[in-house]
């Protein structure tokens, strides 16, 4: 008897499992509030391979979050009433179906009467929305622009700018779901710790939860290093570039923190922009992003890029703190060590006085090099694609470190003050 082949398979951990939700449904879920949004993610985490059928219910919500049973039941009732889930079997062991956007009815169950009125007017082709409605035009009364912005945040409208709006899904119901794939570790604690979703729930800010999940929709480790950073629609942390010195064919550049940059039209930023304000229109976005970085759910990994434009390409990571993977931090430390060998003690002292946090030498023909902080989600599913990305990253970092170490040996062997640059 082959007992080895008859042994039960070990259950996959939460980080090895993943689930999906519909990107077009997610804004409508968040419009119902934090308890409903958290509960929806728990139900979805318990779905099968079809990402639709789930037997997780109130018990699972209370087990994986801090939401009490009465409020968990109210959250499920709200999702059912909004047409976002359907009860397939009631009783003590209920079963639900998650209804994706292409399966939902065209009703607007979670909107106020004013929002429904404005949605109907825009649906008839009236795209230019005034701040104040008047009796002598189609808007009649109220504050149509504020209602249109609220509809945009809830995912029913798309803001075209200039007070113009259109339906988010004009003309037709989507043919299928637009899935956001998520690791189960976001929801399933396995009884060991607070999950990311539970930590965000404690912030009592549903915008943070919406942004967190939306970022997964834009997270790409197959074709990139995380969230797209390039202008005009990417998210990035920008650094000020300062020339520290030059030795032969190498220029040593230093970088100090400046600010976060985002284009308001980015799909994960647009729902948080308040265009009724004259300034700080995206403050809600930046506040939500700060919560995610403070919770260490999103890392910012500084990278050297050959130019700061839509055509820019990453060269190598240059983190000096605890951000990024170990191999990336080794590149950053090695780049800084090489840079220090190319600078005089006076130049190093001057750089420290300027608040320089990172430094790297590059060939002087690379005149447009810049540092950008690339945002990367820390919780990632343990899939073959993730493993392949991590393997490639290690190989690339190893090659950079080897090249830098060769230069360190060259410059360190006989570095003298006469070989150091004296100008910046």
Q: What is the pLDDT of residues 134-168, one digit of tens each?
A: 877 789 899 999 999 888 887 788 888 888 898 87
Q: What pLDDT was estimated at residue 160?
A: 84
- What pLDDT shows up at residue 162? 83
Mean pLDDT of the chain: 87
- Taking residues 289-293, what's their average pLDDT? 97
- Residue 243 · residue 252 · CB < 8 Å: yes
Torsion of CA 191, 192, 198, 199, to 10 degrees: 170
Determine the Cα–Cα distance for residues 421 and 343; give it in Å rounded to an integer.
Answer: 6
Mean pLDDT of 403-411: 91
- Is the pLDDT at 323 greater than 50? The verdict is yes
Three-state secondary structure call for residue 240: strand
**How much is the average pLDDT of 302-319?**
95
pLDDT score of 169: 59
CA distance 170 to 172: 6
Residue 112 DSSP symbol: -
Predicted confidence at residue 355, as pLDDT, reads 94
User: If pLDDT is split at 50, 70 and 90, which confidence band does 295 have?
Assistant: very high
* Spatial CA neighbour of 63 closest among 226, 190, 199: 190
The SS3 call for residue 239 is strand
Overall average pLDDT of the 398-412 stretch:
91
Q: Closest by alpha carbon to 52, among 92, 19, 29?
A: 19
251 versus 193: the higher-pLDDT residue is 251
CB 110 within 8 A of CB 28: yes
pLDDT band at 395 (very low <50, low <70, confident <90, very high): very high
- 3-state class (DSSP) for residue 391: helix
pLDDT band with cut points at 50, 70 and 90 for residue 175: low
Measure CA 376 to chain center. Answer: 7
Model confidence at 5: pLDDT above 60? no
Count Cβ atoms below 10 Å from residue 157 Cβ, excluding itself.
26
- The DSSP element (H or E) to which 284 belongs, if any, is helix 283-294
Is it the case that residue 171 has pLDDT exceeding 60?
Answer: no
Closest CA to 211 of 148, 149, 269: 269
- What's the mean pLDDT in 180-203? 89
- The reported pLDDT for the residue numbered 40 is 97
pTM: 0.80
pLDDT band per the 50, 70, 90 thresholds, residue 302: very high
Domains in the chain, CATH or no CATH each? 18-104+182-190 (1.10.10.10), 113-167 (no CATH), 220-419 (no CATH)
Whole-number pLDDT of residue 413:
59
At 59, is the pLDDT very low, low, confident or very high (cuts 50, 70, 90)? Answer: very high
pLDDT mean over 294-311: 95
pLDDT tens digits along 270-283: 889 887 788 889 99
Tokens for 108, please give them: 């607007």
CA 10/CA 101 separation, integer angstroms: 35
Of 182-196, 237-251, 298-312, which range is least confident? Answer: 182-196
Q: 2-11, 38-47, 342-351 — which is least confidently predicted?
A: 2-11
Q: Is the confidence at residue 422, as pLDDT, over 80?
A: no
Other beta carbons within 10 angstroms of residue 396's beta carbon come to 16
Instruction: Confirm if 254 and 359 have CB atoms less than 8 A apart.
Output: yes
Please write the tens of the pLDDT for every residue from 72-121.
999 999 999 989 999 998 888 899 999 887 676 555 556 888 988 898 88
């Amino acid at each position: 008897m082959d007992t080895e082949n008859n042994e039960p398979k070990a259950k996959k951990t939460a980080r090895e499992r993943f689930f999906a939700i519909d990107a077009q449904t997610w804004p409508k879920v968040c419009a119902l509030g934090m308890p409903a949004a958290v509960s929806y993610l728990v139900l979805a985490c318990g779905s099968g391979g079809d990402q639709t059928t789930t037997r997780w219910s109130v018990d699972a919500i209370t087990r994986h979050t801090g939401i009490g049973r009465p409020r968990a039941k109210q959250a499920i009732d709200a999702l059912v009433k909004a047409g976002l889930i359907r009860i397939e079997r009631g009783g003590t062991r209920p079963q639900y179906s998650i209804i994706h956007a292409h399966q939902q009815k065209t009703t607007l169950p979670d909107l106020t009467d004013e929002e429904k009125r404005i949605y109907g007017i825009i649906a008839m082709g009236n795209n230019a929305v005034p701040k104040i409605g008047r009796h002598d035009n189609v808007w009649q009364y109220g504050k149509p622009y504020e209602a249109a912005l609220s509809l945009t945040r809830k995912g029913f409208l798309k803001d075209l700018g200039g007070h113009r709006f259109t339906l988010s899904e004009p003309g037709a119901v989507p043919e299928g779901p637009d899935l956001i794939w998520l690791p189960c570790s976001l929801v399933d604690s396995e009884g060991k710790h607070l999950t990311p979703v539970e930590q965000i729930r404690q912030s009592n800010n549903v915008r943070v939860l919406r942004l967190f999940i939306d970022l997964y929709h834009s997270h790409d480790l197959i074709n990139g290093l995380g969230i797209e950073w390039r202008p005009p629609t990417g998210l990035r942390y920008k650094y000020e570039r300062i020339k520290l010195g030059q030795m032969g064919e190498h220029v040593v550049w230093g970088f100090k923190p400046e600010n976060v940059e985002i284009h308001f039209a980015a799909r994960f930023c647009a729902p948080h922009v308040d265009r009724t304000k004259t300034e700080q229109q995206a403050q809600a976005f930046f506040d939500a992003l700060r919560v995610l970085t403070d919770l260490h759910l999103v890392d910012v990994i500084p990278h050297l890029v050959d130019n700061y434009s839509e055509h820019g390409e990453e060269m190598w990571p240059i983190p000096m703190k605890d951000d990024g993977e170990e191999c990336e931090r080794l590149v950053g430390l090695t780049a800084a060590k090489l840079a220090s060998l190319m600078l005089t003690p006076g130049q190093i002292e001057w750089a420290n006085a300027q608040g320089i946090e990172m430094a790297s030498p590059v060939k002087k023909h690379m005149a447009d090099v810049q540092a950008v902080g690339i945002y990367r989600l820390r919780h990632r599913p343990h899939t073959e694609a993730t493993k392949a990305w991590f393997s490639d990253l290690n190989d690339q970092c190893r090659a950079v470190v080897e090249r830098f170490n060769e230069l360190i040996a060259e410059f360190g062997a006989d570095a003298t003050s006469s070989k150091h640059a004296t100008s910046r």
